[in-house]
């Protein structure tokens, strides 16, 4: 059946269009939205979020997608708007269960392929690469991809034509009229959709509380240029590994000023490699240097781009700050620029890293003290109003943000002339049913959060995770007492296990584990021993490796660091 005939056939057998929100409405991250018509499902994005500190042993969180697993055969495609972790981080878990086509831009799919490879998944036969203005038939849906500007290359909004009407999903966006890569925000196409008639607009609410316009990414390059040019010591720029536009500007500034750039961090190296291969990053000849070579260069000639802008304890910047990095050392006269926004909840971790950097004699510039060194990738209030006025939707649904951001975006819609009854505030699990000229709220669907630890295992709830570890692999508690003044271990580390090893095996294994904990602390610097967050992470990582190697099992490990 031809696509036009198929659409006509479906239209004649009327079904409501259902839009279900599995994540991204009530928090930052976990973005995942379902479009369903006649039982066939289109998935838009599958993202993750990072956990709060109290979730011991949890590395990241993904949406609970059991609802989708139960309907796996009905899923016709997974469309990915761009390559940020909060939009693609859960793709391996989703794809493994659904095996549906993965649709996205070249850069987005390049990042996804690397993720799938880590999970030993081969999706090459299911990859569908698209670019702006392409149109793709996916089940009963016709999806057109629209160029938007954001803080990562090849970001695309979606125009989803359904038998019920046209839905615009903006994904993450801002309106940058001088983008670094020259890929302009597609004003004309959004205006044409508005003329055609938009049933519903789903729009990014991240910056709905910020007045005015979001500055252009070029402004960041302009702010960084004199800092990098005039520096008399090394400059470390901490940013997100996906921020290819910022990395491009740093490379260009270095080339213009006869300086060299060193990239430090596994994800940074991986992302830049993908971006260069696909033509989204141009590396000037002779600008890049390896960390070993960088260590021998004159400080004033070197710029380091590093990961760890959110204070992650095992990141490149954290290890540099603690003087634990094998090849990069920092000292008096060096500058560290945090060229990234602080993700809510990461304030304490960033503060710890800053403290360590200051102790080493470095000068530190943060986004809140030097705002020009970072620009958000999300639209502020005036840009959100422009989107509303371009598309002129019949119904409006704020997405992507905590409830306060969704609520403020709803107020902006009212200020833009959309009647209050046509503005629909939703939360995770909500389902909207669109008919001809009307909308109703359907029954909520089960949703929640799934916790993933370093083994990439799925953990549905923290309590369930604890019980499973206790019943299968047990639990190990490592207690170490450290003298706050000297950093010395005051007593022999105590290792207590429950449900982990047989009694006759326990004494010898746990004694070796205690020796390992003492060695871990002993090989750490005095500064690391004084930071319980860092020493906690090091003990946990070393014990995980030790027990996995010795027993093949993965007990839950809870270090307890007591300072006296």
504-511: average pLDDT: 76
Check the CA dihedral 507-513-516-520 and report its sign: negative
- 254 with 353, same domain: the answer is yes
Q: Is the pLDDT of residue 528 over 90?
A: no
Q: Could you read off the pLDDT of 11-21 as tens digits, one per residue?
A: 446 799 999 99
Identify whether the C-beta of residue 340 lies closer than 8 Å to the C-beta of residue 168: no
Taking the C-alpha atoms of residue 18 and residue 43, their distance in angstroms, rounded to an integer, is 12
Q: Which of 232, 247, 204 is nearest to 378 (CA)?
A: 204
Q: Is residue 461 part of a domain?
A: no
Q: Is residue 458 part of a domain?
A: no
9: confidence class by pLDDT, cuts 50, 70, 90: very low
Q: Is residue 535 part of a domain?
A: yes
- 363 with 257, same domain: the answer is yes
Looking at residue 367, its pLDDT comes to 77
Q: Is the pLDDT of residue 270 over 60?
A: yes
Q: Is 121 helix (H, G, I), strand (E, B) or coil?
A: coil
Answer with the one of 371, 400, 417 that is the final residue of a domain: 371
Taking the C-alpha atoms of residue 189 and residue 146, their distance in angstroms, rounded to an integer, is 7
- Among 233-242, 441-450, 470-479, which is the least confidently predicted range? 470-479
Answer with the one of 340, 371, 402 that is the final residue of a domain: 371
Looking at residue 414, its pLDDT comes to 96
Q: Is residue 437 part of a domain?
A: yes
Taking the C-alpha atoms of residue 62 and residue 32, their distance in angstroms, rounded to an integer, is 10
Indicate the average pLDDT of the chain: 90
- 12 with 98, same domain: the answer is yes
Looking at residue 458, its pLDDT comes to 53
Looking at residue 379, its pLDDT comes to 98
The residues that are catalytic are 204, 378
Looking at residue 328, its pLDDT comes to 92
Q: Is residue 456 part of a domain?
A: no
- 198 with 97, same domain: the answer is yes
Q: Is residue 558 part of a domain?
A: yes
Q: For 118-154, what is the HEC assignment?
A: HCCCCCHHHEEECCCCCEEEECCEEEEEEECECCCCC
Q: Could you read off the pLDDT of 42-77 as tens digits, one per residue?
A: 999 999 997 765 555 567 889 998 999 999 999 999
- 355 with 382, same domain: the answer is no
486-507: average pLDDT: 76
Residue 158, Cβ density class (10 Å: 0-12 exposed, 13-18 middle, ≥19 buried): buried
- Domain of residue 252 covers 217-371
- 428 with 347, same domain: the answer is no
Q: Where are the alpha helices (DSSP H) in 397-449?
A: 403-415
Q: Is the pLDDT of residue 2 over 70?
A: no
Q: Could you read off the pLDDT of 430-460 as tens digits, one per residue?
A: 999 999 779 999 999 999 888 776 555 554 4
Count of domains forming the chain: 3
Taking the C-alpha atoms of residue 472 and residue 539, their distance in angstroms, rounded to an integer, is 22
Q: What are the strands of the beta sheet with 335-338, ordered from one edge?
A: 260-264, 302-306, 235-238, 335-338, 363-365
- 124 with 40, same domain: the answer is yes
- 239 with 357, same domain: the answer is yes
Q: Could you read off the pLDDT of 329-374 as tens digits, one per residue?
A: 999 999 999 999 888 778 888 999 999 999 999 999 997 777 799 9
The CATH number of residue 297's host domain is 3.40.50.10710
Q: Which residues partner with 58 through β-bridges?
A: 453
């Amino acid at each position: 059946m031809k696509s036009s005939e198929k659409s006509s056939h479906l239209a004649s057998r009327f079904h409501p269009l259902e839009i279900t929100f599995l994540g991204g409405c009530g928090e930052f991250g976990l973005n995942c939205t379902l479009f369903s018509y006649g039982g066939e499902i289109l998935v838009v994005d599958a993202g993750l979020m990072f956990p709060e500190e109290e979730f011991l042993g949890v590395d990241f969180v993904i949406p609970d997608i059991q609802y989708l697993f139960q309907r796996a055969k009905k899923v016709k495609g997974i469309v990915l708007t761009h390559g940020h972790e909060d939009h693609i981080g859960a793709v391996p878990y989703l794809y493994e269960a659904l095996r549906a086509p993965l649709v996205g831009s070249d850069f987005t799919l390049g990042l996804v392929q690397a993720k799938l490879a880590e999970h030993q998944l081969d999706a090459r036969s299911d990859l569908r690469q698209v670019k702006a203005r392409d149109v793709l038939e996916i089940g009963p849906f016709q999806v057109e991809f629209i160029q938007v500007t954001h803080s990562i290359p090849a970001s695309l909004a979606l125009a989803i034509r359904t038998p019920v009407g046209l839905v615009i999903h903006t994904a993450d966006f801002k309106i940058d009229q001088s983008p670094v890569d020259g890929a302009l925000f597609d004003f004309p196409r959004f205006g044409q959709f508005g003329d055609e008639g938009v049933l519903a607009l789903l729009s990014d609410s991240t910056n709905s509380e910020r007045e005015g316009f979001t500055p252009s990414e070029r402004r960041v390059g302009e702010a960084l240029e004199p800092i990098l040019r005039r520096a008399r010591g090394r400059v470390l720029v901490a940013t997100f590994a996906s921020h290819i536009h910022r990395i491009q500007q740093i490379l260009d500034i270095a080339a213009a000023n006869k300086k060299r750039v060193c990239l430090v961090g596994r994800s940074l190296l991986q992302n830049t490699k993908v971006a260069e291969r696909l033509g989204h990053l141009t590396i000037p000849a002779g600008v890049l240097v390896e960390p070993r070579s960088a260590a021998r260069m004159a400080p004033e000639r070197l710029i380091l781009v590093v990961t760890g802008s959110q204070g992650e304890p095992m990141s490149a910047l954290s290890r540099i700050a603690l003087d634990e990095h094998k090849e990069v050392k920092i000292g008096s006269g060096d500058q560290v620029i945090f060229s990234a926004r602080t993700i809510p909840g990461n304030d304490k971790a960033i503060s710890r890293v800053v403290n360590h950097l200051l102790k080493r004699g470095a000068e530190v510039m943060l986004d809140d003290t030097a705002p020009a060194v970072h620009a958000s990738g999300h639209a502020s209030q005036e840009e959100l109003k422009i989107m509303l006025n371009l598309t002129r939707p019949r119904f409006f649904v704020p997405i992507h943000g905590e409830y306060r951001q969704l609520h403020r975006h709803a107020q902006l819609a009212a200020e833009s002339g959309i009647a209050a009854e046509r503005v629909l505030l939703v939360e995770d699990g909500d389902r909207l049913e669109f008919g001809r000229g009307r909308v109703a709220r359907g029954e909520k669907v089960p949703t929640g959060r799934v916790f993933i630890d370093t083994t990439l295992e799925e953990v549905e709830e923290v309590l369930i995770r604890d019980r499973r570890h206790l019943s299968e692999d047990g639990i190990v508690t490592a207690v170490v007492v450290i003298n706050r003044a000297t950093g010395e271990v005051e007593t022999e580390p105590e290792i207590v296990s429950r449900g982990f090893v047989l009694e006759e095996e326990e004494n010898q294994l746990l004694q070796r584990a205690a020796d390992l904990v003492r060695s871990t602390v002993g090989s750490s610097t005095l500064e690391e021993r004084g930071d319980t967050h860092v020493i906690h992470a090091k003990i946990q990582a070393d014990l995980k490796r030790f027990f996995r190697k010795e027993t093949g099992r993965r007990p839950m490990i809870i270090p307890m660091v007591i300072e006296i």
